[in-house]
Structure 1
Amino acid sequence: MRLFIYANFLGVAWAGILNNQRQVLFEDEQDSILNQLFGEVLTPHVEGEIQDLSVGKKKYVLDDSETEEFRAQCGFYENHRISYPDDSFLSDIQLFSGIVTFAHVPMEQCFKSKDAENAPNYDIAILGAPFDTSVSYRPGARFGPNSIRQGSRRLGQGVLPVRGFPGSKLRTLDPYNAGYKIVDCGDVPMTPFDNRLALNALYRGERAVYKQSTNRTDLKVPKVITLGGDHTITLMALRAAYEHHGQMAVIHFDSHIDTWDPKVLGGGITKTQSINHGTFLHFAHEWGYIRDDKSLHVGLRAPYFDLYDEKHDRECGFDKIVARDFDLLNFKEIVKTIKDRVGDLPIYLTIDIDVLDLAFAPGTGTPEPGGLTSRELLTVLDGLEGLNIVGADVVEVAPAFDSNGEITSIVAAQVIDSILGLMVVS
């Protein structure tokens, strides 16, 4: 018992000595140069007031051992005292703050019933489709929506000096402050275990997004941009858009035709695999979502399985501009070919990121050499100004195969930024 009491006494005494030492060290630290420089960070804020720390501050006291370079730095800080803003954060850089939505647009609960309390309203909705279980080569595009949002963190405001052709209204346009309410609806919950259930969930999600009210009187329904996901998701997006806009023309940027007969790709294995990322345009035409002879591919270069594929592609209503045409034609010729083909129909714009060359978009599921540069793609997109683009998607971004510089995600985000410009320019 005595031993126990004695041990406790020693413990308390030792704790007291340590506390005294800590107090001495703390007091010694009060006049250190680091405390002088950074102690003001801890200055309490008064709500609603900006903390100006330039008033009544004594000069920094430096130790004799400090270098001339460091003394000069302290002299600069002394003459340029920092002012801390209030707690609103409105004037702070927003690149890395908050929940990551596309280009920092507001997040909205878009799947509510239109008649529900606090039902949202918006003009352009951005929607994620995390799905990649219908691919024929490399999976991973289910992580595409998140990576595209990550790649968009530097977007959200500002005029681009290269947007649009010379003299275009796009040259002076900031899409995020052009009178359209743009929101991010998050991702549709798509199961990775059953393609039928997953695609049905996406269809229901797209329908819910279209059913909300708009802010602008000139829009009957919102415009929707979907972030893929593998290219199969375009079929459900087209189905939902067709219910409001009728038959559309599709401008399809891709290295692959994606009109393959399901007997050639997938359906020859099992019936349930007939709908996949290489056959969805076949079904879009078969089910009547696409107007005959008004759609076209841009950037094709991947091989056919058979010459029959080209014949079947024409039967599905498509013409084509191949990747090598960009070496032979100028941009105005390419744009004119596209515009003459689609006319004044409602346009659905679908962009497989593999339309770009591997050097510009390595993070994709079925890469093909000899593709477009990112500048070529963005220039052609800007040339589509004036078309009635009612819906769009960017698909097949697979971040697991991207560079550590996230170049595929960044260029995909920039592509969506261009699409937003086309949707809001008057």
Structure 2
Amino acid sequence: MLLATLLSLLLQGLRWQFVDSHATHDPKSSPKDAARIDELKRKWTTDWAFSGISTFAHLPHTRCLVDLDQKYDIAIIGAPFDTAVSYRPGARFGPRAIRAASARQTSFRGFNHRAGFNPYENWATIIDCGDIPVIPFDNALALEQMTDALEELLSRNSNIYDSAATDAAKTLVKDKKVPKIVTLGGDHTVALAALRALNKYHGPLAVLHFDAHLDTWDPIKYPSAWSSDQVKLNHGSMFWLAQTAYDPPLIFPNASVHAGLRTRLSGVDFDDYHDDTRQGWYRIEADEIDDVGVQGVVAAILDNLGKELPVYLSVDIDVIDPGIAPGTGTPEPGGWTTREMIRILRGLEGLNLVGADIVEVAPAYDGPGEQTALAAAQIVFEILTSMVKQGVQEERDKMQSARGSRHLNVDEGKSESTAQAPIKDEL
């Protein structure tokens, strides 16, 4: 019995020694193991378009909101929220659909031939930060969640700034210190959360808004015998809120543009347009492209946005005709083609984009080929291209030389018929 006990203790000691030696072993300390790890990475870390976990363009994924060590220059974040829509719900599944549709985008095949640039193989660290866990039961609380999440992402120093080794190097990239965000919606209300968050770092913004609809409607334009504070927050009134519910307004006066409009208006006259003009917007109708072409649309946008203002780019997928992109909540016939939309975005290089979104993708109404989600994923690719290319000084110099020069001030652009008193804040 004594011999058996001693033998058992001896074996146990050997076993713990064996475990401990492996638990504390650092594979990188062994050249042989390090070479093996490199070989395994070479063999098993490159996915096909159809393989791998679904992140945008197969980008690295981390929960940026809780990982303080993760560095990025551009954060892609999903906002699966759709309880402020006025027609068809379903955009809460938009982020998932857009990521799946981006599967054919990869860093090693990401050269944008229209721009002569690969956004995934340049200075910017682009990360898929997952989704904001937006509550579906309380719109006011959801807005606070989304705002807080985006503020958190913007509060971190960018990777390129933190990676600068000296104070002089940090000075050279000071304009990149605040990272950029691209939000995958979700209904269009997410734009209000983004404007609230971005204002803390950039002040009032100019907005470039691609949409079939104005989204500057006073909430009273949605008639009902029932009312509450909650009904003021909806995907057709968020820009009205941005300009009337905050002091100072979140949107810079008379420097923002709608493009692709073809909405029906309220009532029996042009009062919706008069309200929109008083809020300082310039409107480009969808069918104007037939008269002025893509370059005319681009010129009108650049002429109104100026050169220096920080710009928030907000793209409602319904700017594209529903015959091409049916998977959206409020479809309107007569929109632009995907090709026209891409060409317009390519013509807008040089805008000082500080944030962007692609919203209202509702995959339940999409076709079996996922054409709406594919269009959205391509739009994100174009946005990322412009953001990264704008961060390259020699590219920025070339872009600025091609920009328009008119920068509206508060009093310009108001005709007698529309120069009315400011809209009263009803919140």
- Whole-angstrom distance in 2 between the partners of 1:302 and 1:162: 34
Considering only CA atoms, is the larger Rg found in Structure 1 or Structure 2? 1
**Contact 2:139 2:233 (C-alpha < 8 Å) held by counterparts:** no
Give the drift of 1:303: 0.5
Worse overlay, 259-268 or 100-109 = 259-268
* Structure 2 unaligned residues grouped into runs of 5+: 1-32, 162-172, 393-427
Deviations along 1:4-31, one digit per CA (max 9) or x if unpaired, are: xxxxxxxxxxxxxxxxxxxxxxxxxxxx
8 Å contact kept, 1:127–1:185: yes
Contact 2:110 2:120 in 1 (8 A): no
Which stretch shifts more, 312-321 or 151-160? 151-160
Partner of 1:368: 332
Equivalent AA in structure 1 for residue 106 of structure 2: G
Q: Which amino acid aligns with 2:99?
A: R
Range with bigger deviation, 283-292 or 344-353: 283-292
TM-score (norm 2): 0.75
Which of 283, 301, 309 is matched with 2:262 structurally? 301
Return the letter of the residue paired with 2:239.
L
Correspondence for 2:354 among 390, 394, 397? 390
- Give the match for residue 133 of structure 2: 189
Cα displacement (A) at 1:89 = 3.5
Identify the residue that residue 135 of structure 1 maps to in structure 2: 85
Structure 1 unmatched ranges of 5 or more: 1-45, 50-84, 164-169
Residue 98 of structure 1 and its aligned partner are, at CA, apart by 3.0
Pick the aligned partner of 2:99 from 149, 157, 163.
Answer: 149
SS in 2 for 1:192: coil
Cα drift, residue 310 of structure 1 = 0.6
2:206 to 249, 258, 273: 249
Are 1:203 and 2:153 matched, yes or no? no
Matches within 5 A, 1:49-128: 89-90=43-44, 92-112=46-66, 119-128=69-78
Counterparts of 2:43 and 2:223, CA distance in 1: 52
Letter in 1 for 2:139: N
Report the identity percentage. Answer: 46
Note the alpha carbon deviations across 1:256-300, whole angstroms, 9 max, x for none. 000001111278742211110000010111221111110010000
Three-state SS of the structure 2 residue aligned to 1:263 is helix
Distance 2:367 2:359 in 1: 17
Is the aligned partner of 1:275 residue 2:224? no
Q: 2:158 aligns with which of 209, 214, 218?
A: 214
How many residues end up aligned between the 2 structures?
336
Q: Evaluate the alpha carbon distance shift between residue 86 and residue 211 of structure 1 in structure 2; reply closer, same or farther with a 3 A threshold.
A: closer
Q: Is the 8 A contact 1:180 1:216 kept in 2?
A: yes
Q: Secondary structure at the match of 1:252?
A: strand
CA contact (8 A) 1:228 1:394 kept: yes
TM-score (norm 1): 0.75
Greater shift in the superposed pair: 260-269 or 302-311: 260-269
In the TM superposition, what is the alpha-carbon distance from 1:323 to its structure 2 partner?
0.4
Kept in 2, the 8 Å contact 1:131–1:228? The answer is yes
CA deviation after TM superposition for structure 1 residue 191, in Å: 1.0
Taking the TM superposition and a 5 Å limit, the aligned residue runs for 1:217-228 are 217=161, 218=173, 219-228=176-185
Q: 2:366 maps to which residue? A: 402
CA distance in structure 2 between the aligned counterparts of 1:318 and 1:268, rounded to whole angstroms:
30
